[in-house]
Amino acid sequence: MITIGLLREGKVPADNRVALTPAQCKWIQKNAPEVRVLVQSSADRCFTDREYRSAGVEVRDELGECDILFGIKEVPVKDLLHGKTYLFFSHTKKKQSWNREMFQAILERQITLIDYECLEHDDGQRILGFGFFAGVVGAHNGIMAYGNRTGKYVLGRVHRQQSFRELIHTYFGLRLPEIKVVVTGSGRVAHGALEVMNLLEIVEVEPEEFLARSFHYPVFTQLKGSGLYVHARTGEYHRDEFHQHPQDYRCKFLPFTSTADILINGVYWDRNMPRLFEWSDLMSDGFTIRTIADITDDREGSVPCNLGESTMEDPIYGVDRQSRLRTAPYLPGSVDVMAVGNLPNELPRDASRYFGEQLIKHVLNDLIRGGSVIVDRATMVKRGELTAHYQYLAEYAGGG
């Protein structure tokens, strides 16, 4: 018998998503009799303790007898149980300094850590993630913020709706002005953003047309890797080469900063990749973008004016284009930025349901059977030791 536990989220502010819904837990216990599911009691989770109990799942305060523990966000050091197997988004693969203490505790307590972010198909595509709903909420918030700035239309908050279906109903009858929106990226985040573009009846146009023309209706264009980056020497784009040597590429986004009103950024970024634009571009008179929904949310990353996270409760802040200081939103001379790290929390039940479906379909059987190539590749730490693929984290994991 293998016992799986669903963790109560301990990170502050609390996340309300969960890896498995009550219905999914019930399905597992019915179809995999060798698996038992326990749920740690939580007042913040989008599915209540009562809903789990109604599905025949035991709810308790302690999960010490569990073999495998599923969370969402980082687990506080005080809550990490010795010798257990954990799955959650650890946010450590880029050596994030704020999670170093937690990562060191994982090694010290001989824990096995399997990071959701590292679970990938053979072609490198991520198996699990909340990116689609991050894209939906991020794009909605970006369009909403531009309406708040201009006063030309009103779009309400996502979290006031009970579901994605209800959110769609709020779009009926909404007439948008002649806005021009750029969506960057091609993954799940971008797909979620494109869903909102289509639901709002914002018309897609080719990048060249977007740059050259004015329109009497709302339009958007999508920029994927080949539309954003080019090799500095050859002028070409090759996806694998770009990801291996991004420092050899330059970004060609700049013309869009003088034609777009809204940027919805869903492009992956790390420190070696060129930014979409620089502060000097933002400060110029020709910079027309007034709203940036930075769904990727890397502080001072692909969007340099991301000055840190905002919250779900207060998602938009302003950045003065000259002083570079964070301000209230919607002020003259500023650009509005949305940089929320837990966007799917605004549609938590839909997001959790989708996540759990992928977890059951692609990962659960491998976990129950003791592993697989996919699970092994995503195992950063095994019983307190860094695995071969993650030896580059040795210094980060050390105590020095």
Each residue of 251-262: pLDDT tens digit?
999 999 999 999
Average pLDDT of span 54-71: 97
Task: Note whether 348 and 331 are within 8 A (CB).
Answer: no
Alpha carbon distance 44, 17 (integer Å): 9
pLDDT of the residue at 400: 52
Task: Note whether 6 and 74 are within 8 A (CB).
Answer: no
pLDDT of the residue at 271: 85
pLDDT of the residue at 337: 98
DSSP state for residue 256 in the 8-state scheme: G
pLDDT of the residue at 399: 63
pLDDT of the residue at 319: 98
Each residue of 24-33: pLDDT tens digit?
999 999 999 9
Name the pTM for this structure: 0.89
Strands (DSSP E) found in 228-358 = 229-231, 249-251, 262-265, 291-294, 316-320, 326-327, 334-338
**Residue 387 C-beta-side C-alpha neighbours within 13 Å:** 17
Each residue of 241-289: pLDDT tens digit?
998 999 999 999 999 999 999 999 999 888 899 999 999 999 999 999 9
Each residue of 153-190: pLDDT tens digit?
999 999 999 999 999 999 999 999 999 999 999 999 99
pLDDT of the residue at 39: 98
